[in-house]
Structure 1
Amino acid sequence: MRPLSDLPLDLARSVRVVLSDIDDTITSEGMLTASAYAALEALHRAGFIVIPVTGRPAGWCDHIARMWPVDAVVGENGAFYFRYDRPARKMHQHFWASAEERQENRARLDAIEKEVLATVPGAALASDQAYRVADLAIDFCEDVPPLPEQEVDRIVAIFERAGAQAKVSSIHVNGWFGAYDKLSMAKILLADVFGLDWDAARRSVVYAGDSPNDEPMFAAFPLSVGVANISAFSHRLRHKPAYITAAHSGDGFAELAALLLRAKDGTGA
């Protein structure tokens, strides 16, 4: 991982699309700071396509798509994308699985939930679980005392024994049934809504993240950026981001946004 300051401005000028994780990438210690939100708004106003790609639930993503300065949002680690058409006042929703499939998968996830809570002391259901449509989120440090890494691995193993996918974020273990992840839904969104085929996307997208569930995105996009706190997870990553910010969390996202805006304006050194 090279310092973000080493990113050539010519490469930064090629960016049209900013994809970013939310928790501990745009937010800091669970808060959306004024500086991080201002960075989002500045990118959007400058004409970048801005898309959060998050493990957070459908209920949150409806709010984000409607009220944040973004063009769309991918949620629940790729279960769907939401795009709000402001002039038409219409929310467009695209799900990976049908409503019937999601209902069947929920029964299987309910069984996993019971096993995890019965066998991993200190783990809890994520406080935002009620707003989810496709996955199960187990809290290991957001609203509970942080669990040891081996306990996080136990949660992942329970999901995987049941045939589910499981990804570790900075706060939750998210699990689901279905052959999708953040990358697969982002590709669908970029092609269907913004007309970017995969070759074009690889040349014009930057992705920012902070944790192991961002690994498919780090692997896919040559221009990928980890905020500084990703160093805590580097031992869990086979595919690391190409660049790393000097600042942590939302300040790191603002650092990336400032570089992109300087490059676009031609004011970079």
Structure 2
Amino acid sequence: MRPLSEIDRGTLRRVRVVLADIDDTITSEGSLTAAAYMALENLHRAGFIVMPVTGRPAGWCDHIARMWPVDAVVGENGAFYFHYDRAAKKMHHHFWASVEERRKNRARLALIEREVLSEVPGSALASDQAYRVADLAIDFCEDVPPLSETDIDRIVAIFERHDAIAKVSSIHVNGWFGDYNKLSMAKIALADLFGLNWESARDTVVYVGDSPNDEPMFGAFPLSVGVANIHAFANRLKSKPAFVTAAHSGEGFAELATLLLNARNAA
């Protein structure tokens, strides 16, 4: 991972799309700072396509699509995208699985929930679980005392013995049934909403994240960026971001936004 300061201006000038994780990438220690929100707004006003790609739930994503300066949002690690048409005052939803498939998967996830909470002391349902439609989020440090790496691995193992997908974020272990991830739904959203062909557009996209559930995105884009706190998860990453910011979390996101905006203004 090279320092972001080493990136060449020509690479920055090609960027048209900014995809970003939320927790500990746009936010800092659970809060959305004024600087990070301003960075989002400045990118959006400058004409960049801005789309958060997050593990956060459908309930949050409805709010984000409506209220934040973004063009769309991918949620629950790729289970759906939401796009709010402000002119028509209409929310557009695209889900990976049907309503019936999600109902069946919810019953299977309920079994995993019981096993995790009984077998891993100190774990808890994520506080936003009530607003989820497709996955199960187990909290290991957001609203509970931090669990050990061993306990986190035990949570992942319980998901996997039920043939579920499990991904570790900076705060949760998220698990689901379905052959999707952040990348697969981001591709669909870019094509559906903006007419962007994946192969021709990938060099115009930057992705910024901070944890192992961002790994599909880090591996897919030539221009991938980790905020500085990515170093804490380096041992869990097979695909690392190409560049890393000097600053942590939301300040790192703002650092990237400033470079993008300066490159566009210079051009």
Same fold by TM-score, threshold 0.5 exceeded?
yes
Instruction: State whether residues 12 and 260 of structure 1, in contact with CA within 8 Å, keep that contact through their aligned partners in structure 2.
Output: yes
The aligned counterpart of 2:126 is 126
1:135 and 1:263 map into 2 onto residues whose CA distance is 39
Alignment of 1:209-248 (within 5 A): 209-248=209-248
Map Cα deviations across residues 204-257 of structure 1 (whole Å, 9 max, x no partner): 100000000000000000000000000000011000000000000000000000
The aligned counterpart of 1:197 is 197
2:14 and 2:191 map into 1 onto residues whose CA distance is 18
2:182 and 2:201 map into 1 onto residues whose CA distance is 15
2:56 and 2:160 map into 1 onto residues whose CA distance is 20
Are 2:66 and 1:66 aligned? yes
Deviation at 1:198, TM superposition (A): 1.1
Alignment of 1:2-81 (within 5 A): 2-81=2-81
1:208 and 1:79 map into 2 onto residues whose CA distance is 19
Query: Identical aligned pairs, as a percentage?
Result: 78
The aligned counterpart of 1:180 is 180
2:223 and 2:195 map into 1 onto residues whose CA distance is 20
The aligned counterpart of 2:150 is 150
2:19 and 2:175 map into 1 onto residues whose CA distance is 22
Q: Which runs of 5+ in 2 are unaligned?
A: none
TM-score normalized by the length of structure 1: 0.99
Displacement over 2 Å in runs of 4+: none
2:253 and 2:200 map into 1 onto residues whose CA distance is 23
Instruction: State whether residues 190 and 201 of structure 1, in contact with CA within 8 Å, keep that contact through their aligned partners in structure 2.
Output: no
- Give the match's secondary structure for 1:208: strand
2:149 and 2:76 map into 1 onto residues whose CA distance is 22
Map Cα deviations across residues 78-122 of structure 1 (whole Å, 9 max, x no partner): 000000000000000000000000000000000000000000000
2:215 and 2:200 map into 1 onto residues whose CA distance is 20
Deviation at 1:201, TM superposition (A): 2.4
Alignment of 1:94-133 (within 5 A): 94-133=94-133
1:51 and 1:103 map into 2 onto residues whose CA distance is 27
May I ask how many residue pairs the two structures share in their alignment? 267
Q: Which runs of 5+ in 1 are unaligned?
A: none
Residue identity opposite 1:97 in structure 2: A
Deviation at 1:203, TM superposition (A): 1.1
2:166 and 2:70 map into 1 onto residues whose CA distance is 27
CA RMSD of aligned residues (A): 0.6
1:67 and 1:128 map into 2 onto residues whose CA distance is 18
